[in-house]
A and B are shown apart, each in its own frame.
Chain A
Amino acid sequence: MAAPILLTESLNLFYGNFQALKNVNLSVAGRRITSIIGPSGCGKSTLLRVFNRMNDLVEGARVTGRVLLDGEDIYAPGTDLLSLRKKVGMVFQRPNPFPISVFENILFGLRVHQLAGKSKDRLREIVKESLESVLLWEDLKDRLNGLATNLSLEQQQRICIARLFVVRPEVLLMDEPCSALDPLATARIEELMQELKKNYTIVIVTHNMQQAARVSDDTGYMYLGELVEFGATQKIFTTPRDKRTEDYITGRAG
């Protein structure tokens, strides 16, 4: 496996007295798709949110251990959260475009990071590149001023992915990115993920085991806050080591 982009060392996370993550040691390789599976409440979304410190917004959340992005501890004092979230983008379960135009949705990140100040032509070029990378340009090039919230759910989700690209992230976190989509739209997003992994590292949380099997290179199984097993997706789905993993992916328990 290539050198890890993301690494957790003895990671524990508490929400008040409740321990949501227990001694998680995970290593995410670059330009691969890593999926995290597990039953509801196992901590998989919490783990995902550790990687861009979204849990900081939860009152009483407390982290011990280390989380390294490109070798740097993102929980070290003085970490610039804005720049962290630029490097580590997130896509959510429900597409959440802003209720503004497609054009401005795409450029939103640039404006936040004060990277705008660019010529109109340059901005249009950025929007084009970004929409092209999610295969939306042809469909939307004449509707850039339309409200993003008026698009189909799949297009909205693609917009949410596209708008991450303008700030040149390294890692894309996806929390159930297809659960609001129909099977065809899901298949198209999955195809898109295969394209995106050429340039980005993707970590996806999913309830859909078949989706994890289809799209990811590596899979981790979480149960009650523990990372029970982690390995090549093929291995996890054919010959898992741990009985708890076996029981979960064969639908016996979990």
Chain B
Amino acid sequence: MERHFDEELKNLKQRLLHMADTAQQMIGLSVRVLTERKEALAAEVFKLEDSVNRMEVEIEDAVLRLLALRQPAAGDLRLLTAVLKINNDLERVADQACNIAETATDIIKEPPLKPLIDIPQMAEVAQKMIRDSIHAFVNHDPSLAGEVCREDDKVDQLNEKIFRVLLTYMMEDPKSITRAVDLILVSRNLERVADHATNISEDVVFIEQGKNIKHHIQN
């Protein structure tokens, strides 16, 4: 039996999808501020953040309304509580994009410290993780969600590698410290984005299978 409630849930998912798409796009733009040395792109990131913030509040309101009025159980309940959390994660992803855009704006005022290789790669993986986690959510695909969780290791390794490389620059030349620290911050922001994608994927597994896989705790 198709319920009116299903329509409301579908609508909510659509909005979350739109928010994910925007947040993911913001990460792409913020990294391009750095790689293409285009300050103007930062302004676009900040503009998109306003709309993400608005979406966050709207989605939260919608979930609260459905919890109160529909008194959901089982799969519906898991979906709605997970949407609340995913909503939060996506808003944080948008925040990270703003952090990256701000730091990148500072970095490009100085000449390049070194050719950027690892950071663009990391950005690509992190963005793909966000996209995949949302695909897993929309397509009820816990196995894709599992793959996203495994990708997180790759991002963590890149983050460590970037830190090590930049450390050697700072040791060799104190004048490089400001730029190197800023690049480390960007790398850290991207690592956080991947963490949020991992959270979303864990929520997808919870929605689909009722299993909490966070922190490798078995229940």
Contacts and interface: CB of A to CB of B under 8 A. Distances in A.
Interface of A: 209-210, 213, 237-240, 245-246, 249-253
Contact of A209 (B1, B73, B78): B73
A239 B73 contact: no
Interface string B47-78: 00000000000000000000000011111111
Interface in B74-92: 74-78
B1 A249 contact: no
B103 to A, nearest CB: 42
A147 to B, nearest CB: 39
Contacts of A240: 74
A130 B1 CA distance: 47
A137 to B, nearest CB: 35
A250 B210 contact: no
B3 A238 contact: no
Contact of B3 (A213, A239, A249, A252): A252
Interface residues of B, number: 12
A237 B74 contact: yes
Q: Which 3 A-B residue pairs are closest in the complex by CB-CB distance? A: A239-B210, A249-B73, A237-B73
B76 to A, nearest CB: 5
A250 B6 CA distance: 11
19 contacts: A210-B71, A213-B73, A237-B73, A238-B73, A238-B74, A238-B77, A238-B210, A239-B74, A239-B78, A245-B74, A246-B74, A246-B75, A249-B74, A250-B72, A250-B73, A250-B74, A250-B75, A251-B3, A252-B3
B66 to A, nearest CB: 13
A237 B78 CA distance: 10
A251 B5 contact: yes
Nearest to B76: A250
Most chain-A CB neighbours within 10 Å: which of B1, B3, B74?
A: B74
A35 to B, nearest CB: 14
A252 B77 contact: no
Contacts of B73: 209, 213, 237-238, 249-250
A213 B72 CA distance: 11
B119 to A, nearest CB: 41
Contacts of A239: 74, 78, 210
A222 B74 CA distance: 17
A237 B72 CA distance: 9
Given A209-B73, A238-B77, A252 B1 contact: yes
Contacts of B1: 252-253
Nearest to B209: A239
Contacts of A210: 71
Contacts of B5: 251
Given A209-B73, A249-B73, 15 more contacts: A213-B73, A237-B73, A237-B74, A237-B77, A238-B73, A239-B74, A239-B78, A239-B210, A240-B74, A245-B74, A246-B75, A250-B72, A251-B5, A252-B3, A253-B1
A253 B210 CA distance: 21
Contacts of B210: 238-239
